[in-house]
Amino acid sequence: MTKKDYELIATSIREAREVVARESGNNAEVLGGANAGFYELAKILSARFFEQNPRFDDNRWMTATEVLHN
């Protein structure tokens, strides 16, 4: 995969989180559950990306997906 591919996926995760926030009316309970799901998705993808590329940077990836931020 290329940097462009990783960026596309990270952007898609961020956009999905924004949709959940908007559609839920920023309901904290919904956002907490959704964020937990997006976090797990990002970590699973990170592990797969690392398998393909041992230089893959998990911290940079998680920051790009913004799943650590509420």
CA 21, 27, 28, 32 dihedral sign is negative
Output the pLDDT for position 31: 86
Higher pLDDT, 16 or 32: 16
Question: What pTM value is reported for the model?
Answer: 0.85
Q: How confident is the model at residue 69 (pLDDT cuts 50, 70, 90)?
A: low
pLDDT(62) > 60: yes
The H or E element that residue 21 is part of is: helix 3-24
- The residue ranges of every structural domain in the chain are 3-65
pLDDT(70) > 60: no
